[in-house]
């Protein structure tokens, strides 16, 4: 793991990948953006607040960033899915209780039904329309979740 300041070129690239999100003015003008690199993920900390996680070429909100997560479609799962998702498993169709509209390949946030707690962020493997008729299989590829190395680093 390494921590470093983000260069101007990296900042421009990051901003181009964040066009789907409504960002606060202080983020766009910030000079204090640090990157923490993990094995296969990179965490971006802006003004000492963890905001985004980069996995490959995908940039998603950090799991505890509620104002950014509100901008993503929600998928609600039953409590039986919690231990599996907390270990990095993908979201399976039978565990889904409800969901908002989304398209295939959209970034979605997975919540636990009784607690309204964000548990994972992932990429939709099918659209919400296709999901409505499906009975089994994977619905979301889990990218970032409570309990992963990024989350543990910030909680540690």
Whether residue 81 contacts residue 91, with contact meaning beta carbons closer than 8 Å, is answered with yes
Q: What's the token pair of residue 25? A: 């003015």
**pLDDT of the residue at 27:** 66
pTM for the structure as a whole? 0.90
Question: From residue 82, how far is each of 52, 124, 138, 145, 155 by CA, in Å?
Answer: 22, 18, 15, 10, 19
pLDDT at residue 124 tops 90 = yes
Structure confidence by residue, pLDDT tens digits, 2-53:
889 988 888 888 888 887 888 766 666 667 889 999 999 999 998 888 999 9
Helix (H) / strand (E) element for 29: namely none
**How distant, in Å, are the alpha carbons of 12, 33, 85 from that of 45?**
15, 6, 24
88 Cβ contact partners less than 8 Å away, ≥ 6 residues apart: 142, 145, 147, 148
> Quick one: how many helices (H) and strands (E) in the chain?
6, 11
The predicted structure's pLDDT at residue 10: 86
pLDDT score recorded for residue 91? 97
Q: How confident is the model over 81-90, as pLDDT tens digits?
A: 999 999 999 9
In order of their start, the domains of the chain are 2-64 (3.10.450.120), 67-152 (2.30.130.10)
Q: Where are the alpha helices (DSSP H) in 34-148?
A: 66-69, 82-85, 128-133
């Amino acid at each position: 793991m390494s921590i470093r300041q983000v260069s101007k070129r990296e900042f421009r690239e990051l901003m181009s990948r964040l066009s789907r999100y409504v960002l606060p003015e202080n983020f766009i003008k910030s000079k204090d953006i640090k990157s923490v690199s993990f094995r296969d993920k990179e965490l971006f900390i802006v003004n000492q607040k963890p905001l985004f996680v980069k996995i490959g070429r995908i940039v998603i909100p950090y799991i505890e960033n509620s104002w950014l997560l509100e901008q993503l479609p929600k998928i609600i799962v039953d409590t039986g899915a919690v231990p599996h998702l907390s270990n990095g498993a993908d979201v399976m169709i039978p565990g889904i209780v409800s969901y908002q509209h989304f398209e295939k390949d959209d970034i979605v946030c997975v919540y636990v039904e009784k607690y309204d707690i964000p548990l994972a962020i992932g990429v939709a493997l099918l659209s919400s329309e296709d999901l409505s008729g499906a009975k089994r299989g994977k619905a979301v590829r889990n990218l970032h979740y409570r309990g992963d190395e990024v989350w543990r680093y910030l909680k540690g």
